[in-house]
Structure 1
């Protein structure tokens, strides 16, 4: 498997990690077993020696006969015998290993298990009381314990090696199982970054890896949806720009070729100005939307009297509505409504909503600008007497270009960016904006809820 930026691959890292963990576990187990084996070996030798002492203690004549003939009991030649007589006298080859405490214990009828010195060496000493009083003692050099220990330790090496090897193999299998879906996910991510779409990652492996695969699949779907919307939006933008450009170019060529002369020139100039204003408005909306998405978007937060701001807005829009024979109304508390916000951006937001309302409102129908206090904040409303919004319209009302594409040729439409700008402005101000279709005036109903200060940090809105 390849490496990235000089870093080791995941497979090798997992194999090394599992092998290291296994090695530590094996070493700790081996160290513990190594020390325990010595204790177990000594316990086994003592147990065997103790059983032999008890057997001989039950047959004192046999033990005495062996002692009188200075013979050793059956078994290893290094096992030696001593007899503690009822009188306290100690006889036998192992007599010097029996100390006073062991002798007193045997005379009292108790068994003895200890370590002693005999002929300059450490020995195991096991004693058992006899039926007639006194006791019988057997000793065995510690060398027998060392030999048993070495045999048991030798048999431990192979299992430890097999355990370490098995751990390394298990680590390799685990690494392969984990790395394979991750590599597949990484390749898919690279393909997505290169522009490929419609690629899927199989949801295999552990739950976390499967979750990563699911996230990449979701990302692929989201990218496809977003790029389709962007493509549609660009097509819409090109259409919006091409129409006034074509008109302006046609009139410019007619003027240049002197096809339009005399009294027709002022009318041609008016049309050219109108088309250029359309282009300026559209480009201005695009720039405004781009600024709203910028991280360094500026807000001048001060204390603002929304009642005075609404009055100022109403003055400007009542004149514009009058020119279009639209009934403009304002609803306000006629007392200061003070909140901390950016007054310029609030006015920009209201202007955008009012322009959208005026565009679709027929002659003689109303446009309403309303202000109501709302706790520590305020509610701003723009309602109109136009055709309104359906439930499907409300779902995409703030998606750039959605309503323009839907109603082009059916009702008056703008650049398709006004409501998207309003939505982003409301978010920048820490507020929210909602759309409804059943205004009291019969048309659309937009409500902006403004807090007294920008609340949560702004999160750029998506097109979904």
Structure 2
């Protein structure tokens, strides 16, 4: 059974219906034109014979011929294979009839004769002897007949046969053309919908997690563009699936490492293998590992909210320079561990930004922690603010190990790290993803420049605000 709900069926039957209706309309118009031309030919034939009859009747009247002699003269004009001519008087009585006629005189409607006798020509289709016929009746213009009126009726026989012949002439090419067009439509519809069927099958495989299939694109039309878009979607889904797997693996790794350390420290403390004078040191290590787990969880939650659009910006004008100074103070413990400094330039000028204070602080902390993490001991991190007409440019540069060129496209991805081996335990791997999401949320762009072994420079713009008084 044909499934009429498929695009192939709808396309095929729609085209087939259009072609069928077009041919049907053509057939109707053709029949109508045939009808008009046929009756026009009959009218011309009637005029020709009526003129001949008028001349013969005038000749017979001029020579005072008898009815028998006049009938013999008119016989060749009255009798024909496809039509018959009958001459009546003004009372509707037949005067001259063909010797052999397919028309039964009694079946002819006398109203036609009476109407024609009154000077009103008659042209009408009717059924005589069960067959479709065409009747033309009119008064003859005979000059020598005195007060006598002659009415001629011309009856064309068996129009059914002509219409049947004409119908057969239309039906045969119509049937052949429809069959041929149907075959072509079937092939074209199959070709057009083939990519759609492939997409349907591949979509089912995608739903089951098989991202290896792609749609074969063989055209540049809308269906071909849809196929390319579908392949792009499949590639993106494959990428998302890989990211999901990496995310689970990385989160598991980053949670397992500190939890394993915590468990080891707790077991050692319970067993008494750690001397009392070293317990404070291990407590500090346990606190650092706990802070690392908390930061990982908080960063993951923040990243999820940013990606899902659950974060609303609360923009306000504020002192960006003062915010940076406060952040440097918060980062002093990390700076002191590596004997590092953060230098803000220029030192004496204060700049004001129009942004979400808390979100920008989170982005700045992540960028500065990233700079501290990958910089050498006793090095410096520079934060420079440049003022433009409507915006401020914040640049953070370090002299650390830099980022390899092949790693640059991946630094904004979650759990991406410069060494790609994840041996450094100090980072969560999603800080830069959070930074980019926050800057994007402000409608700004963050840029990065780096040369491996020579440090990294991050820069972004923020809307400038007027000075707060």
Matches within 5 A, 1:107-146: 122-123=135-136, 141=154, 143-144=156-157, 146=159
Q: Secondary structure at the match of 1:406?
A: coil
Rounded to whole Å, the distance in 1 between the matches of 2:274 and 2:333 is 35
Q: Which of residues 65, 71, 76 is equivalent to 2:75?
A: 71
Q: Give the one of 389, 393, 401 matched to 1:375.
A: 389
Distance in 2 (CA, whole Å) between partners of 1:324 and 1:314 is: 14
Unpaired runs of at least 5, structure 1 = 83-91, 101-113, 128-137, 454-464
Query: Are 1:10 and 2:7 matched, yes or no?
Result: yes
Quickly say closer, same or farther: Cα 1:344–1:364, change in 2 above 3 A.
same
Instruction: Give the whole-Å Cα distance in 2 for the aligned partners of 1:333 and 1:364.
Output: 21
Offset at residue 336 of structure 1 (A): 5.8
Residue 331 of structure 1 corresponds to which residue in structure 2?
A: 345
Distance 1:344 1:295 in 2: 17
Shift, 1:421, TM fit: 1.1
Aligned to 1:297: 311
Say yes or no: does 1:237 pair with 2:247.
no
- TM-score normalised by structure 1 residue count: 0.73
Give the equivalent residue in structure 1 for 2:207: 193
Aligned partners of 1:272, 1:229: CA distance in 2, in Å?
Answer: 30
- Structure 2 Cα separation of the partners of residues 388 and 153 of structure 1: 89
Give 1:51 deviation, angstroms: 7.3
Among 444, 447, 455, the residue aligned to 2:459: 447
TM superposition shift of 1:284: 2.1
Q: Is the alpha carbon distance of 1:206 and 1:393 closer, same or farther for their aligned partners in structure 2, counting shifts above 3 Å?
A: closer
Task: Work out the CA distance in 1 between the residues paired with 2:164 and 2:59.
Answer: 35
Query: How far does residue 329 in structure 1 lie from its aligned partner after superposition?
Result: 1.0
Partner Cα distance (1:194, 1:358) in 2: 44
Matches of residues 215-234 of structure 1 in structure 2 within 5 Å? 215-234=229-248
Q: What is the Cα deviation at residue 190 of structure 1?
A: 0.8
1:340 is aligned, of 354, 369, 379, to 354
Preserved contact between residue 359 and residue 413 of structure 1 (Cα < 8 Å): yes
Aligned counterpart for 1:416 among listed residues 412, 426, 429: 429
**Cα offsets for 1:349-371 (capped at 9, x unmatched):** 11111111111222332211122
Shift of 1:305: 3.7
Within 2, Cα distance between the matches of 1:382 and 1:307? 13
Residue in 2 aligned with 1:39? 36
Which residue of 335, 352, 360 corresponds with 2:374? 360
Q: CA deviation at 1:446?
A: 0.3
Within the alignment, does 1:27 sit opposite 2:31 as a pair? no
| Distance in 2 (alpha carbons) for counterparts of 1:381 and 1:2 | 67
1:349 corresponding residue in structure 2: 363
Deviation at 1:221, TM superposition (A): 3.0
Q: TM-score, normalised by structure 2?
A: 0.72
